Amino acid sequence: MNACRKAGLAHFAVTIIGKDRPGIVADTAEVLFKLGCNVEDSSCTMLGGEFAMILIISHEKPFSKKQLEAEFAAKTAGGGLSAFVRSLKDDEVCYQEPTGELCLVSVYGSDKPGIVYRITRELADRGVNITDLNTKLIGSPAEPVYVLMLEAALPQDLSVEQASQLLENLKKELSVEISVRLITPVSL
């Protein structure tokens, strides 16, 4: 199973963000490698002109957050990168496997305030757990279009059809297209 269950490891969440350029990942990985840290889980992407990294890292105990912060401060000084480190408790480390169906919700339409808020509030109130979410503003400056794609684990008592029904009213209210489809992995 996941390496997260190894005992004797200290875990940290690290967030790094800065103006995009080649080498941000390599610089970060170099700091971690030299300190003897493992990258347990990570997701990194471009957001606008920024490159954003979110990592769960581990190091054999004893190891302090201060050591990490000091190394990153040295590396990021003057480089336009900001780094943030948070210590994780044991129960924050492991991925909680969703029990219900996994679905992909796509929402798009003319840009207006409240798309993300209304959609995610509706889902949250019904116990739907978002596992991944991307938004993008596309289209032309004259006619901006908002696109939101999210993956979510449904609670056991909610079907994809019901989840779709749940968002039905928001289609009209926000005048956006909304579709929900099943993407639960097939095990082969």
Partner 1 sequence: MAVQRILLYPNPILKRMSRTVERIDAEILQLVEDLVDTMEAGPGSVGVAAPQVGVCLRVCVVDVSNNRHGKDNNHGRLLMINPEIVERSGLAVMREGCMSVPDYTGDVERATEITVRFSEPDGTQREFLASGFEAVAIQHEMDHLDGLLFLDRISSLKTGLFRRKSYK
Q: Find the part of the chain contacting partner 1 (CB under 8 A) among 117-125, 131-139, 156-164, 168-176.
A: 131-139
Which residues ranging from 37 to 56 are in contact with partner 1 (CB under 8 A)?
45
Binding to partner 1 by residue 130, rule CB under 8 A? no
Put residue 78 in one of left, alpha, beta given phi > 0 → left and psi -120 to 50 → alpha: left
Q: How far apart are the first and last CA of the chain?
A: 18
Could you tell me the smallest distance in angstroms from the CB atom of residue 155 to partner 1?
Answer: 19
State the helix-helix crossing angle for 115-125 and 160-174, rounded to 10 degrees: 150
Q: How far is the CB of 169 from partner 1 (least distance, A)?
A: 26
Tally the C-alpha atoms within 13 A of residue 4's C-alpha that lie toward its C-beta.
Answer: 16
Q: Please report, as residue ranges, which positions from 140 to 179 form the binding site for partner 1 (by CB under 8 A).
A: 147, 149, 151
Asked if 1 touches partner 1 (CB under 8 A), the answer is yes
Size of the site for partner 1 (CB under 8 A): 16
User: Considering the rule CB under 8 A, would residue 2 count as an interface residue with partner 1?
Assistant: yes
Tell me the two tokens of residue 112: 């207006």
Radius of gyration of the chain (CA): 20
